[in-house]
A and B are shown apart, each in its own frame.
Chain A
């Protein structure tokens, strides 16, 4: 089960979090959810669901028909 966390967008360093599905930089609120045995950042639960959906579809229909 995932959870929201908040990063502090400070200015002494420039840490970035890219969504593990779409690749977008996440400004502040990050949806952390376990995937492939580790917790990964997502924009929101929908991005996590889309990644899981596309993986499942690829497994069932092959790489050209997903």
Chain B
């Protein structure tokens, strides 16, 4: 057990202990942020990620928080170190950056980086990336669905020293917080991020004191080598070939009735995999563009879902995977294009497209499409109880795709987020909105041998004199795809009902927005209501192959209606008393 491989420096036990210690430290970084941050997007949604790097900027550990940030932070930290240098830091320095044109996912996502010093030299870097609910964009909450350039999406921060030798750089703080609608909340969240990297520094130095720097360094390099070798083995199990798939982003929020194609060719060649997006649409005029880092992160996300989850999550995982994203396309937009929706909408689409491509190669491992939108609903205003400005980014759980062995999960945050939902009680306490309904939507999961997960309906009522809302949705027109005979999931929606009105309308119908799914700065009044429909996941396999008993159970649990049971599954279910059902005929 303790024998070491000839190509590794250390034995397996030591490697496992150190790997688990580093991963646990990254988890503890997240807990520190969760417990000390001011905003619900941190302490309820957990929209952040925590990662450690060696002195050359190679990722050595991560925790399982937000996948899109874990993927992009690899590029973010590389850029920060390349731009500023690897050996220009002093103990106590803290660096900050959020620029999407330097590797960040989008402007709201801020990265904090801290060098860790041991015996006078920087031996590692610890970092986190987190979504600030208020980055100073044209729309409260930061995601303006109709932005046309990066300057409308918030304050863009190049790599800067936020602290030098343990001392706050007051000028930098002043500039940042003067540009945010909620400076106290941003201050608290940024300080929570700083506390988190302090935790990581303490833990890492404890590890070095226990094992010695040479052993810890050797372990990290061994773990990277192991991860690379195991990922190469996983890729080698995929049959060589070229696998293609494409899907669309429905509109860009500023150009009416225009969709954008994302096309991917997955090339598997031995133990290497290339995802080539040549042929994708040119970048759009609105904010539905992704940066190279977002696209790369989404490809990694797909592969990490399809490969052995016990592979150490570090630099080695990524080495056999290559991304080709032509500049000027929707998957690699060029400065100064708007892009804030790329990280919420293009990212899950890219992951689904990689799934779709590989479904032909490894059908027994690939799920159908998930709901594929973050259902971004942003709002802000002046709180009637406090007189203070507030803003919030609300995202909604969706149905995930049916899997080769089981149904898709219901009401789970989109695959690039891995966040939690915000409890109704927290939501209503913090913001002047009442939640009138929050329920799974029957029949929203795509029919299949393994059914897609269900989406939800949520209804808000405005409880303040006015509130400003924005949104970025997708999957309103093109439903989440099924696989191998499975049917699509239900589409998404966002609707408004003005106080005193009976009918729900789209925001396009009610306010004349260019897009029904992407808009910003709409002012609602007290008593107005907003309804969010989160999409279901696609089904996997022919629904006629689903066991009739499982269809009956779905009807009893309110997940599938008797009408769908008959139409989609060929199973007749009859209600014999209120809430009681029996199967009256099988196919």
Binding site for B on A (CB under 8 A): 9, 11, 14, 16, 18, 21-25, 27-29, 50, 54, 64-66
Q: List A contacts of B158 (CB < 8 A).
A: 11
> Is B570 in the interface zone, CB < 8 Å from A?
no
With known contacts A9-B83, A23-B292, A25-B292, A66–B267 Cβ distance under 8 A: yes
Residue from the list A14, A22, A27, A29 in contact with B323, Cβ < 8 A: A22
Residues of B within 8 A of A (CB): 75, 78-79, 82-83, 101-103, 158, 242, 267, 274, 292, 296, 322-327, 332, 334-335
Extra contacts besides A16-B101, A18-B332, A27-B83 (20): CB < 8 Å:
A9-B82, A11-B158, A16-B334, A18-B327, A21-B324, A22-B292, A22-B323, A22-B325, A23-B292, A23-B325, A25-B102, A25-B103, A27-B78, A27-B79, A27-B82, A28-B82, A29-B82, A50-B274, A50-B322, A64-B242
Closest B residue to A61 by beta carbon equals: B242
Q: How far is the CB of B264 from chain A (nearest CB, A)?
A: 13
Q: How far is the CB of B297 from chain A (nearest CB, A)?
A: 12
Q: Which of B79, B83, B267, B324 contacts A23 (CB 8 A)?
A: B324
Cβ-closest chain A residue relative to B329: A23
Q: Which chain A residue has the least Cβ–Cβ distance from B291?
A: A25
Instruction: Say whether chain A's binding surface is mostly helix, strand, loop, or mixed.
Output: loop
> What residues of chain A lie closer than 8 Å to B242, measured between beta carbons?
64-66
Partner of A28, one of B83, B322, B326: B83
A66 contact set on B, CB distance < 8 A: 242, 267
CA distance A20 to B369 in the complex (A): 32
Residues of A within 8 A of B267 (CB): 54, 66
Residues of A within 8 A of B322 (CB): 22, 50
The smallest C-beta distance from A46 to any residue of chain B, in angstroms, reads 9
Residue of B nearest to A11 (CB): B158
Q: How far is the CB of A16 from chain B (nearest CB, A)?
A: 6
Nearest CB on B from A36, distance (A): 16
In the complex, which residue of chain B has the Cβ closest to the Cβ of A51? B324
Whole-angstrom distance between the alpha carbons of A14 and B325 in the complex? 20
Chain A residues in 8 Å Cβ range of B83: 9, 27-28
Q: How far is the CB of A23 from chain B (nearest CB, A)?
A: 4
A18 to B323, CA, bound (A): 13
**Are B335 and A23 neighbours in the complex by a CB distance under 8 Å?**
no
Q: Are B102 and A27 in contact (CB under 8 A)?
A: yes
**Would B82 and A23 count as touching, CB distance under 8 A?**
no
Q: Report how far A14 CA is from B99 CA in the complex, Å.
A: 12
Alpha-carbon distance between A65 and B103 when the two chains are bound, in angstroms: 33
6 A-B pairs closest in CB distance: A27-B82, A18-B327, A28-B82, A23-B325, A27-B79, A9-B83
Are B332 and A23 interface neighbours, CB within 8 A? yes
Assembled-state Cα–Cα distance A50/B324 (Å): 11
